[in-house]
Amino acid sequence: MKVSAIVYTSNTGFTAQYATLLSHQTGLPLYRLEECDLPGSTQVLFLGWLCAGKIQGLKGAMGRFQVAGICAVGLAPQADPAKLAGDNRCGGLPLFYLRGGYAPARIRGRYKMMMAMMKAILSKKTDRESQEALKAIVGGADWVDTAQLAPVLDWLEG
Ligand SMILES: Cc1cc2nc3c(=O)[nH]c(=O)nc-3n(C[C@H](O)[C@H](O)[C@H](O)COP(=O)(O)O)c2cc1C
């Protein structure tokens, strides 16, 4: 699949970092969804951050361009690909999960309220994954790593 641009949306910067790394490694031009006026026929790789299981910006991007592949960026160690694809109506498109990070100081408004609820839920749980997520939500975390991009680059270059 020939992709001619990378389009992304990012709330706190982690998805932007991955999109920038991909653009540097491939030479593909990079656009923020909110500022992008590419023609509707453009084949794009879309990157969006995960909010309550939903890939932000994906629906809009699909309506505006030819989305050929998708990266979802979240804080979970991994995501169930079938669930992610189903919940986001990815329609069989290549879908990659990238672990981003969490920057509590950059979360505002309704997202802050949603995460306060998530914090309260996680505080009551004792399993290791919940405890790790809670630690990241309280103290922040950054898992951005170029190594995670290997499958995306393979697909882009394949
Ligand atoms: C309100 C809210 C909901 C979130 N929901 C999820 C989620 O369902 N799954 C997940 O893995 N990460 C979730 N996250 C974490 C973000 O996806 C993660 O911090 C991501 O790296 C943010 O990317 P960005 O810096 O490009 O905005 C959520 C974060 C916020 C603020």
User: pLDDT tens digits for 64-112?
Assistant: 999 999 999 999 999 999 999 999 999 999 999 999 999 999 999 999 9
Number of CB atoms found within 10 A of residue 43's CB = 15
Residue whose pair of structure tokens reads 């103290």 in the numeric block: 139
Averaged pLDDT, 123-139:
96
| C-alpha of residue 128 to centroid of ligand 1, in Å | 19
Distances (CA, A) of 100 to 17, 37, 78: 9, 26, 11
| C-alpha of residue 140 to centroid of ligand 1, in Å | 12
Determine which residue's CA is closest to atom 27 belonging to ligand 1: 11
Chain length of the chain: 158
pLDDT at 2: 85
Which H helix or E strand runs over 8?
Answer: strand 5-8
**Residue 30 φ/ψ, nearest 5 degrees:** -120, 135
pLDDT at 97: 98
Give the list of residues 6+ apart from residue 118 with CB closer than 8 angstroms, or none. Answer: 137
Instruction: Name the fold adopted by 5-103+142-157.
Output: Rossmann fold (3.40.50)
Q: Give the DSSP letter string of 21-38.
A: HHHHHH---EEEGGG---
Q: Which of 20, 46, 51 to mutate to test the pocket of ligand 1 (most atoms within 8 A of CB)?
A: 51
pLDDT at 1: 57
pLDDT digits (tens, 9 = 90+) for 1-42: 589 999 999 999 999 999 999 999 999 999 999 999 999 999
CATH 3.40.50.360 domain locations along the chain: 5-103+142-157
Structure tokens at 48: 């969006």
pLDDT interval class at 158 (50, 70, 90) = confident
Structure tokens at 158: 């394949």
Determine which residue's CA is closest to atom 30 belonging to ligand 1: 51
Give the list of residues 6+ apart from residue 39 with CB closer than 8 angstroms, or none. Answer: none
Atom of ligand 1 nearest to the CA of 76: 11
